[in-house]
Structures are given as C-alpha cells and as structure tokens.
Structure 1
Amino acid sequence: MNMDPVKVIDLTRIFTLPTHVSISNFPGTPAGFLTKLYYEYFKKGNRITIKALDRINLTLRRGEILCLLGPNGSGKTTLLKIIAGLLLPTSGKVLIDGIDILNLTCEEIARRVTYIPGLLLGGAWINGFFTLKENLRNYAELLNLDKGRIEWALEITGLSEIKNVKAAALSSGIHARLVLASGLLKESGIYLMDEPMTGLSREIVVDLLGYIKNLRKAGSSILYATNSIEEAERIADRVAILNKGRIMAIGTPEELVEKIKEEIVEIEVEGINIGVFRENIERALPGESKVRIEPLNYTNDLLKAYLTTKDSRELLPPLIDRVVKSGGKVRFVKVHKPTLEEVFIKFTKLSGGGNERKD
C-alpha cells in the first residue's frame, strides 16, 4: 500500500512554564516563544500554558513540496521538530510512512526523516582548508553516513564542477549549497526544511530554490517552512497558511486564491482631486469593499486606486460614470485575482479560525 510520507492528525503541543519565569528572557526557548502575539496565554495554578500548536491536520504527499507559510511565532518550527522526533506532541498523532512516530525509535525516525535548519548558520563544520568534496566526506565519516551519496549530493546542488576547490575560496552562497548537500547524504525520502534561506541574499535564495526543486524531481517529499511569500510562490506545490498555531487554509496557490472570492481592481484617473475621487468610489462601492488611493504626481490630480470587491462588473460601470461626470478621465483599468501575498495577509488577520482537515 502506498502510504503518504507524513500525516499529521489533530496535533496539539502545549508548553508549560512557571509563572515567575519571564518568557521573553527564558533561555533556550523556541523562537516562537519570543513573539507573544501569536500564542494563547492563560494561567493555570502557578504555571503559564502556551498553546504552540492547536489541532493541526495536514498530509505531505509523496513527491511534493508543501510550504508551511506563517509569520514568526506561528508554530512552524514546533511542528517540524515534532515530525522529526525532536519534540513530543501533547496530543494527536504523526504518522511517518503510515507508522505512528511514537512507535518508532530515534534511529528509525532518523533513517526516514532529514531535518535541515537555516543553511547560512548550519555550516560551522565546514573547514576552509578542505575542498567541498573533502568536507562532505569528513561530514559523512563523522556522522557515519553513506559516502557513496557524496557525488549525487554534489550534482543535485550544482557543486560537481567545483567539488575540488577549497571551501575558503568560495562564497557564503556556495557554503549554503554545501550545507544543503550535507543534508542529502542521508538516504531519506522526507526532508523537513526550517526556514533554510534565513540571512541569505535574494540571488542566492533563487539559486538554492532551484536545487531544492531538483530534490523533488528525484522523488523526495519536502515540508518547507518559511515566512517568505516569494519562496512559497517559487517552489510550492501546495501551501498551508499557519497562524497562532492553527492551519487557516491549505491548498495549491491557485486554490487559496479561489477561497478568497474577491477581485482586485486597479483604476487610474486624472483631472479630479483625491477627495472627489474617494467620494465617487464610496458611492459606487458596496459597503464591504476596501479602498487604497495613491497620488501619482505632486499636484494630486493623477491618481491610482486599488479596490477589493466581490464583483468588479457591478462596481466599474457606475464608478467610471461618476468619474467622467465629475470632470475626470479614466486612463487605465485592470482587474485581477488576489496575489498569494494578499491571501496570506487576509488569512493571518482572521481571528480564530480552525484547521482544515481535508487535504
């Protein structure tokens, strides 16, 4: 039977601390603890309970990249560490290849799952006096990994042509690719990547994302945590939006856009001032629509508005008519679906909300 690589069922993780401990200064806590805004706090006796994950349900399918997209402190790292066997859940289940993770030993989990944190900070083991290939060989020997996968890892990460160059002569971007290659030395079909691009330049990030897609083409399944919209747009087959420890929505980027059921209207006008234009919009718009107006020149008679509405066909005719009757001229109109960024902002601003159980 072809099992999904990872299945998370009603997963909850609660952390409990003494009330006299200052959470913002508590040593060794996950980064999410530092952002109190995203957690639910309440006192229970003489302790503070922090609900980091709240009934999470999701499935990582075979051969896909599923992005966990959420703000800092939303629970991404906690979720990945539970799947990797580094933290225990308070309740719920994690199934790896159909087996409850609590029934697997640490060694059995490690054979199935590779956890990769930030690539920039993960290269402390790199020795500048050794070549890239020698560094990987030393890393494999240290952790008793398969040295037979070194050439494959170098090829997947685009390092084959410079494998005999000493690490000291190469850039931080190459070092980040070497850290990624080290994570591929273990033969596991599941990769958990925890904000791997933190601190790297955009050029390096775009380069590395291409190599991660190569890993998917090789048949691996990747759960990729990020707070970057661009990274999610570039590599995700599906996106799970995580906020306050809960999954607010999950689906392909196109499916998430359809969930919003809104349109974005861009309209550019000239010949009227911003007050008249705003009045025209307010009279033409349904009450639930949103408006943002930007002046495009110093005299404020060339204006561009961004409108969010459920039906542009209902909005535009009366709005254009009012602009013309006010002495203005419509220069430009564009209607499009919301972007993934706009979808993300909408879902993370929702109060409450539940997990989507259907994957």
Structure 2
Amino acid sequence: MRLPSMRGIEIPEDGMNDEVLVATGLRKAYGDRVAVHEVGLALRAGEVLGLLGPNGAGKSTTVGMISGLTVPDAGHVTLAGGVSLAADEAGYKRRIGLVPQDIALYEDLPARMNVALFGALYGLAPDVLKRRTDEVLAMVGLSDRAADKPATFSGGMKRRLNIACALVHDPEVLLLDEPTAGVDPQSRNAIFDNLEMLKRAGKALIYTTHYMEEAERLADRITIVDRGRVVASGTQAQLFALLPAAQVLQVEIAGEPADIDWTAALQGLPGVTRTGQRLDVAVADLGRDAGAVLAALTERGVQVRGLGTARAMLEDVFLQLTGRALRD
C-alpha cells in the first residue's frame, strides 16, 4: 500500500541525562559529495542504538567519525565526563571499541595473539592482558581455537574474533558496523547472545545493519539516516507510530465480485491493496475499524471467507522514510 512521504522527523527523547556518548552536528564531505550532514545522536549505558539507512546513507562514515578513524569536517563527539577526541585522543579511544565492517585481523597470527596485540595497543598490563584475552575468547566461543590462525576460520568465527579484539580493553562503548554480514545463522545467533550479554553488563552499543529483523531484536532505540541526514530517531514504538497504520486486516473474499474501487469503498482508511482473493486493509485501530470494514464489504455484496491480521514491520517504517528506489 502507498503511504504518505515523511522526512526529517525528530522524536523528542525523555530523560536523556545519563548519556555515555553524545554526537552533535557531525559533517563529512568528500569533494562535492556530502556523506554526512549535521548528524547527531546520543547513547546511554546499557542500551543498543540501531543505526539504519540505505547503501550510501552515511552509516559507516558516521561510525568512523565516532570511533576517531575519520576526522569530521564539523561537529564533535563527547563521552561522559566531557572526554573528547580533540581534548584527549588516547583517553577517548581507550573507552571505545570498534568492530569494523570489513574483517580486521592478522590472518597468520593465532587468535590469541590477535586479541593480545589489540590489548597491548591499549597499554594493558601483562597480567590484565592475559586475563582479558582469556575472558573475551571464552565469551565469543573461541577458547578451543585460541592457538589456531584466523586463516583457518570460517567467516562467522572471524567476525566473533573481531568482536573479541574490540572488547579486550573493556570499553564502555562498542561500535559495530554490520557485524553479521556474510555469517551463518548459528554464528549470527551467537553474536546476538554476546551483544545482549554486553548490554546487560551496562555496555553502550551502536549497531549498524541492513537486516531489519536484527534491529527489531536488538535495538532499544533506532536512528534512521538517509542521504547523510537523520530522518527519524526514537524507540521502535515511536517509529511505528509515524505510520498512518501499524496494523493490517487481511480479508479473504469469495468469488469474483464486480469491479470495485476498494479504496473508495473503504474510504477513511490509510490504504487497501488486493492480491488475488485477499484484501490487505491498513487500519489505525484493529478493534475499532474491523467492524466497519466488514460492514462496508457486506453492503457491496462481497462475501468474506476468512479473516487474518498482521502488524507493520520495521521494514515498513524504513521504506516509508527512505523510499523504495534502488541505491548504489
């Protein structure tokens, strides 16, 4: 069904006084192309913020600026306590962990040495480094492969090792840029379990993904970006509330009724589509509107053979805000 276009929606946040990270006015251009324009977000301890957008929307560039790998043209990022890259780069980066979109491992070093190398770069003392290496390898289920080289690992195992490397210095904030790309369902579920455990431990996570079901499962709040700008941000419930209808009444009809303008017949409802013998009727309130739909159909001599219901998915919100056109 076609729904009205919505752009630039900002949902007010309540109680945002315990942020561990605040990004304000981030901007990055490459020549004449502005990749990120005035992006801002806030992240609390113990929550997952889903960062969604089409290809080329600016997600990875935003993550790069937050991690310190990409220098913004404007804007700034501040951690709790006022720590920023500009004022204390080393102190800032010690509190951030990054799981990049592309695998970042030394393929010919054993898994344990990969983790230890990243920990050493953060200046961990030898006894702390050994303990943390053991802990994070156990967390991602790679203790029994600690002596093996990543060159012998599957894609899912490499992704999990990347997460271990990002966690060895025990950061407060973890940035994950499409961490399940190309992994099998077993590894994906193992990664989800790891992230949910980190959330319960009070870590703050930013998670970019193209898989809407991942964001629905993991994210407490979601920020959707398109063409370098934030188009909406809020809890999943708040985002669903932006749709003209978040529920669908599925009506199976009998026979071939006379040619009917279904939208006119069911006027006042956000949208109606017909696929074969099924009508999908978007309704704002299922309990209130179902009776009116059935009455309108009966009045026009339409025989109803069955009823079903469905709810809007996060993908519906995403496509509503960013459109259906293909992206590069």
Q: TM-score range by the shorter chain?
A: 0.7 to 0.9
Distance between the aligned counterparts of 1:138 and 1:100, measured in 2? 25
The equivalent of 2:254 in structure 1 is 271
Specify every segment of 5 or more residues in structure 2 that has no aligned partner in the other structure, as ranges. Answer: 1-16
Q: For the Cα contact (< 8 Å) 1:265–1:333, is it kept in 2?
A: no
| Matching of residue 67 in structure 1 with residue 50 in structure 2 | yes
1:222 pairs with one of 194, 199, 205: 205
State the aligned residue count. Answer: 305
Task: Please state how far the C-alpha of 1:320 moved relative to its aligned partner.
Answer: 2.3
Distance between the aligned counterparts of 2:73 and 2:151, measured in 1? 45
Q: Using CA pairs below 8 Å that are at least 6 residues apart, which structure has the higher relative contact order? A: 2
| Matching of residue 182 in structure 1 with residue 165 in structure 2 | yes
The equivalent of 2:23 in structure 1 is 8
Residues 142-169 of structure 1: per-residue CA shift (max 9 Å, x gap): 7755333112212322334554667676
- SS at 1:260 equivalent: coil
1:99 pairs with one of 70, 82, 85: 82
| Matching of residue 84 in structure 1 with residue 72 in structure 2 | no
The equivalent of 1:320 in structure 2 is 294
Distance between the aligned counterparts of 2:119 and 2:77, measured in 1? 29
Task: Please state how far the C-alpha of 1:81 moved relative to its aligned partner.
Answer: 1.0
Cα distance change, pair 163–340 in 1 and its aligned pair in 2 (3 A)? same
Distance between the aligned counterparts of 1:314 and 1:234, measured in 2? 29
Give the residue type in structure 1 aligned to 2:42: T
Task: Please state how far the C-alpha of 1:279 moved relative to its aligned partner.
Answer: 1.5
Distance between the aligned counterparts of 1:218 and 1:268, measured in 2? 46
Counterparts of residues 174-323 of structure 1 (less than 5 Å): 174-273=157-256, 276=258, 279=260, 281-286=262-267, 289-295=270-276, 303-310=277-284, 316-323=290-297
Q: CA RMSD in A?
A: 3.0
Q: For the Cα contact (< 8 Å) 2:263–2:271, is it kept in 1?
A: no
The equivalent of 2:9 in structure 1 is none
Which range moves more in the overlay, 236-245 or 327-336?
327-336
Residues 213-252 of structure 1: per-residue CA shift (max 9 Å, x gap): 1122222111111121011011111111111111122122
Specify every segment of 5 or more residues in structure 1 that has no aligned partner in the other structure, as ranges. Answer: 17-48, 296-302, 351-359
Residues 168-218 of structure 1: per-residue CA shift (max 9 Å, x gap): 765432232122111111232111111111222233222211111112222
Q: For the Cα contact (< 8 Å) 1:280–1:323, is it kept in 2?
A: no
TM-score normalized with structure 2 length: 0.80
The equivalent of 1:338 in structure 2 is 312
The equivalent of 2:7 in structure 1 is none
- SS at 1:66 equivalent: strand
Distance between the aligned counterparts of 1:196 and 1:110, measured in 2? 20
Task: Please state how far the C-alpha of 1:13 moved relative to its aligned partner.
Answer: 2.3
| Matching of residue 122 in structure 1 with residue 104 in structure 2 | yes
- SS at 2:223 equivalent: strand
Cα distance change, pair 279–100 in 1 and its aligned pair in 2 (3 A)? farther
Distance between the aligned counterparts of 2:141 and 2:58, measured in 1? 32
TM-score normalized with structure 1 length: 0.74
Cα distance change, pair 283–237 in 1 and its aligned pair in 2 (3 A)? same
2:321 pairs with one of 341, 347, 355: 347
